[in-house]
Chains A and B, each alone.
Chain A
Amino acid sequence: MLNRRNFLKLGAAAATTTVAGGASLNAHAVKDLPDWGNKGFSPTTGKPRQAIPSACWQCVTRCANIGYVEDGRLVKIESNVNSIRTEGVMCAKGQGAVNHTYDPDRILYPMQRVGERGAGEWKRISWDEALDMIAARMKKNRDAGTPEKVAFHYGRMKASHSKTIGGFFKAYGTGSIGNHTALCEGGKWTAQELTWGGHYDNWDFDNTKFVLNFGSNVLETHTNHIPTAHRLLWAMAEKGVEMVTFDVRFSNTAAKSKEWVPVKSGTDGAVIAAMINVVMSEGLYKGDGEEFLKYTRVTEDVNADVPTKIAAIKAHVKDYTPDWAEKLSGVPASKITALARKFATTKPAVLVSYRGLVCHYNGNEGERLAQLLCAVTGQMDKPGTRMKAVGAGWKFPKIPKAKKVKKLDIFDGFPGQVAYPTHHVAEMVLPMIKDGRNGRPDMYVMYCWTPTYANGHVGEAIEILKDEKLMPFVVSVDPFYGDSTMYADLILPDTPFTERWTAEDMVDPAQIGEFYIRQPFTKPLGEARDFSDVVFDLAKRLGVDMGEAKSHEDFVRLACENTPGVKEAGGFEYMKKHGVWHDKNAIPQQQVYNRPVPESVYKAKGVALDEASGVYWKPASEEDTKKGYVATKGAYKKYVAQKMPHGVFSGFAPDKVNKSGYLELWSPLLKAKGFNPFPTWMPIPEHQKMGPDDLILTTFKHATQTHSRTMNCKYLAELYHTNPAWINPETAKARGIYDGDRIKVTSAIGEMVTKARVTEAIIPGVVAISHHCGHWAYGRYASGRRAPFTDEERGDRDFKFKWWTDNGVHPNWVIPNAPDPINGQQRWMDTVVKVTRV
C-alpha cells in the first residue's frame, strides 16, 4: 500500500524526468508570493482592493486592523491576521468604524460659536483664525505667569498621541491635564498599584483550567476585549475550561459561563473575603500559597516569616465566614465554600474582576481582596493565572517639558475626598470648577471628552459647561457634534481614527508585547486635521519646542526607526507594510518578582536600605533618607529591590505610590489615611440606609457599543439603540409594573422616564440600565435629532435609513458623581433609586 513516504520517493524520482514542473503557468517568473491573508476584492471589478494595515480606536483595546480602500473610499475594516493579540479576530464595533469616517454629521471645518453658548449657532472660520485665537489665549496666560489656566481634558488619548499632545501642553507649561479613567476602571488600577505596583492584570486564558469571575462582562466588553475574550472562548470551547460568573445580571458572559451565581449588588467583596476564610481555615494555602506568601506583605513587620503571615491572615479573616457572606450577598454558604475549594485546588486558575466588583464604594477593597485570594492560593503571576500585563515599549522621541510646569488642583477631587487618586477623579472636575476654590481654567480644551455625557449628574454638568462665568472659553476637538461639543465656543474638526497616524502599545495577552501602528486609510475629509498634528502648528505659534519630530507622522516614523527590534525589522517602512511586529524569539513574561537581585545592584553607590519597608532605593538627599522611603514624595521612582527574609528580590516594583516591593496586602499607605491596612469588607453607606421601596441602580455595557463614542455609527446603532431598564418580575410585580411599561426612576438628584424590561435575568432589588443610549446630540443616528429633517410627509430619503425611533435614555441624569474614597473611581453601581410605573 502506498503511504506518504512512498509518494515522496516517487516525487524524488520524478524530479529527474522532464515532465516535472509546469508548462502552462509562467510561475517561475514570479519571484515572491504576495503575503498571505488580509486580501479584499472589489465585487464589481474583481480586482484586489488596497489593504492598509492600521489599528482600531473604537475602544481602548485598539486592535490591529486592516482597512480596504477602493476608489479612495474606505469600504470595509477587518482584523489583521498577523496580530498576536487578536489572532485575526475583530468585534462588531471595529468593523462598524467605517461609519465614523462617513458619518453625514461629521464636522469638516473649524467652527466658531456666534449665538448663546449651546444654542447651536455657528460660523465657519479658517484654521489660521482658530489657531490664532487659541494661541492668543495661551500666550496671554503664559505672559501672566498662569499657564496652568490652560486646562486640557481628554477622554481617550494613548501611546504616541499621548506623547505629542500631552507633551505639547507640558512643553508650554501647563500640567492642568485631566483624563477619564476614574469613569472606567481607575479604581481597579489604584488597588493594583497599592498591591502589586504597575497596574493592569492579564488573565491567561491560554493556559488556565478554571475561571472565577467577579463582575466582569468579559465576553462583551473589556479594556482588552477581543484579545482577551476570544482566548477565553477558545479555552471554554476547545479545552472545556469552566467559568463561574458572579453578577447581579445574567449578562451574555454569565450566559456562556458554566454557572451564573447571582449576587447582591456591591457584595462581591464579602464573597471573596469568605473564600479567603475557607482557604485559610481548610489549609488550602499550603504549597503554592505558602511559597507565594514569601513575596507578600500581610503584616506591619516586613521581615515576618510565612507562619506569622498565615496567622495574621487567619486572624484577619476569621469573621468572614461563608455564613456571614451568605447573609450579605445572598450566595449560599455552601456555594462559596465549594467555589473557594475549586479555585484553590484547580491549578492553574484565574481570578477575573471588573466593574461589577470595583465601581462601588468598596471597590478598592474588593480588588484588594481579590489580590489576597490569588496570593493565598498562589494563583498569581504565573501561566494560567492573573498575571502582570505586558505591552510594547516604544522608544519615543522626547519633547522637552517647560522649565516650570504649573497645574490647577482640580483633577483629584476635593481636599480629603480621595486618599490615592492615582488615576485622577474625572467626575469631580466640573464640580470643582464650579466650586472655584482651587481656581478655574481660562481655557478648557476637551479632546475626545464629553463631560456632560460621560460623567454622572448630567444636568449639573450642562449647567457648568454653559456658564461663561465659570468657563470663559471652551474648545472642543472632535470629529463629531457630541453632547458636550455643542457647548463649546470653538470646534476644531478632529480626524476620526481612520485618518490618523499612531504608534500603538496596548497589552498583549501572549505576554510578549506587540508593536503596531495606526496609519490613515484615507485622507482627512474636508479640512479635518488630527489634533496631534495641530499641536505642532500651535507650538510654532507659541515658540514651544516639540523636539525632533515635525509632525505626528514624523513622530511615529522616528519611534519606528529608534525602537530596538522594530528598527531591525525594517523600521517605518516595515510597519507601514505589515502594521504589526513582535519578537518571535521572545519568551512570554512571568514571575519577575522572585528574581534575585545581585549584591552589585543593591549595594551600589547611592542605593540605601529603608529598614521600615525593606526597600532598597536611591534617596535623592540626606533629607529623603531621614524621611524614609514611604514618606518621600515620588520615592517609588527610586525603587531598586526588596529585602525579604530569604534574600533580595526584584519584587513587585511600585508605580505611582510608595509601596514596598512585596505584593503589599498590609498597606501602610492606607493605614496612614485612616483605612484598614488589610483588605477589608466595607459596607456601602447608601445601601445601609435603604428603605423598603428602594432599589439599587446598576449599569452595564453592551457588546456592540462603547460607553459614549459609537452610537453615531449607523451599523452599530441599528444593532443596539435603546436600553429599557431590566427589572426582576418579583420587583416589578410589587410595583405594578409589566414588561414594556413606562417607568420613572428617581434618585436623590433627579428622575428619568424609561421603559421596563421585566426579566428573570436580573436579581430582585436592582434595576439595570445600560450606558450608550439617550444622546441628545452626536448626530442623527445617535440622537434621532431630526431637525431640520422634518419633512416626513414627503419622505426623508436620508432619514429612511434610520428606521428606529427609540434612542433610549441615558442613566447618568440620575446617577450622582460619587468617588470611591480610596481611589476616586466613579461609583456607577451604588445609586439608590425608587422605581414607579408612569
Chain B
Amino acid sequence: MQVSHLHGFLAAVFREELSAELLRQLRSDELRTTLAAAGAELADSLSGGSEAELLEGLAVEYAALFLGPGGHISPHESVYAEGGTGNLWGAETVAVRRFIERLGFQYDKSYSGVPDHVSVELELMSELARRESVAWKNGDKDQAANCLEYQQEFMRDHLCTWIYTFCDRVVTTAQLPFYREMARLLADFLRGEEEDIERRLVAATT
C-alpha cells in the first residue's frame, strides 16, 4: 500500500497549492523524518516562520512553477509529447482520458483541470497500486498482475514519456527547496518503480 500512498501524496503535492492541513502534516516529526530518509533535503525549510507566511511563499512558488501567468513549467503531458502539438489538449490528452475511462474510472465532475495534468496521472497510478496491494493481500496474483500490467502500460505510454523532463525543470528552476525536493523525489520514485514493477510482475506471473 506504500506505493499507492506515495503516488497519492505526490499527486496532492502537485495538484494545487499546499493546504494548511498538508503543511502541518509535512511539519510533523514522522513525515519530516521519513522524507529525509527518502532523500528529500527539506532541512528546516518548512519549520521556520509562521504557517501563513510559509503557505503564501509556497503558493507564489507553485504559481510561478506550474500555473503562470507567463513562463512556467507546464504540468501537462501533451505539451511535452514527441511529435505532438506542443499545446494543451493534444491527442495525448485524449489518449490519457481514454485510458482512464477504459478502466471504468471517471473524472470527478468538480475537476476543472486538463485531463493529462501530472496530478491526474499520479492519482491513477495510486489507484492502480492500491488495487495491486489489495490483490497481493488477498493472494490474488492474477489480479495483482492485471494491476501491474496497467501500471506498466501507463508509465511506458504516458507518465514516463515526459515526467522526467518535467521534474528536471522543476529541480533546476524552483526557488524554494520544497518543490525542488518533491520533484527530485518524484523522479527517483518513478525510476525505482519502473524497475520494481518489472520485478513484481515476474513475481505475480510465476
Binding site for B on A (CB under 8 A): 70-74, 99, 101-109, 111, 114-115, 120-124, 480-481, 485-486, 491, 525-527, 714, 777, 780, 785-791, 794, 797-802
- Contact check, B73 vs A788: say whether CB atoms are below 8 A apart: yes
> What are the 9 tightest A-B residue pairs by CB atom distance, in nearest-first order?
A801-B86, A481-B69, A102-B87, A788-B173, A102-B88, A71-B94, A123-B59, A102-B89, A787-B71
CA distance A73 to B93 in the complex (A): 9
Question: Chain A nearest CB: distance from B130 CB in Å?
Answer: 27
A104, A115, A786 — most chain B CB neighbours (10 Å) = A104
Partner of A105, one of B70, B80, B81: B70
Q: Are A71 and B60 within 8 A (Cβ)?
A: no
Cβ-based interface call for B31 (8 A): no
User: Digit string of B63-105 for contact with A (CB within 8 Å is 1, else 0)?
Assistant: 1110111111110100111100111111101100110000000
Smallest CB-CB separation from B69: which chain A residue? A481
From A107, A123, A794, give the contact of B60 (CB < 8 A). A123
One of A73, A115, A797 near B165 (C-beta < 8 A):
A797
- CB proximity to A under 8 Å, residues B99-129: 112-114
Given A123-B63, A797-B81, 10 other A-B residues pairs in contact with their CB atoms under 8 A: A122-B67, A123-B62, A124-B59, A491-B69, A714-B87, A788-B173, A789-B169, A797-B80, A798-B74, A799-B86
A107 CB contact (under 8 Å) in B56, B68, B94, B112: B68
Task: Say yes or no: A798 contacts B88, CB within 8 Å.
Answer: no
Which of B60, B68, B162 is most buried by chain A, counting CB atoms within 10 A of its CB? B68
Inside 8 A of B205's CB, which chain A residues have their CB? none
Cα(A102)–Cα(B80), bound, Å: 13
A99/B87 in contact, CB under 8 A: yes
5 cross-chain CB contacts under 8 A? A101-B89, A111-B69, A124-B67, A791-B168, A797-B81
Task: Decide if A73 touches B94 in the complex (CB within 8 Å).
Answer: yes
CB distance from A524 to the nearest CB of B (A): 8
A113 to chain B, nearest CB (A): 10
| Residues of A contacting B: mostly | loop
Contact check, B114 vs A798: say whether CB atoms are below 8 A apart: no
**Contact, CB under 8 Å: B69 / A104:** no
Residues of B within 8 Å of A107, CB to CB, are 68-69
B residues adjacent to A (C-beta < 8 A): 16-17, 56, 59-60, 62-65, 67-74, 76, 79-82, 85-91, 93-94, 97-98, 112-114, 162, 165, 168-169, 172-173
Q: What chain A residues lie within 8 Å of B80 (beta carbons)?
A: 797-798
Nearest Cβ in chain B — how far from A142, in angstroms? 30
Report the minimum CB–CB distance from B51 to chain A (whole Å).
Answer: 16
B100 to chain A, nearest CB (A): 12
Considering only CB atoms, which chain A residue lies closest to B73 in the complex? A788
How far, in angstroms, from A123 to B56 measured CA to CA in the complex?
8
| Nearest Cβ on chain A to B70's Cβ, whole angstroms | 5
Q: B86 contacts which chain A residues (CB < 8 A)?
A: 104, 714, 798-802
A777 with B70: CB separation less than 8 A? yes
Shortest distance from the beta carbon of A618 to any chain B beta carbon, whole Å: 52
Residues of B within 8 A of A72 (CB): 94, 97
| Residue numbers in B under 8 Å from A785 (CB-CB) | 70-71
Known A525-B114, A526-B112; contact A103-B68, beta-carbon cutoff 8 A: no
Q: Within the complex, what minimum Cβ distance (angstroms) separates B188 from chain A?
A: 17
Q: Which of A73, A99, A481: most chain B Cβ within 10 A?
A: A73
Q: Establish whether residues A104 and B71, one from each chain, have CB atoms under 8 Å apart when the complex forms.
A: no
Which B residues lie within 8 Å of A111 (CB)?
63, 67-69
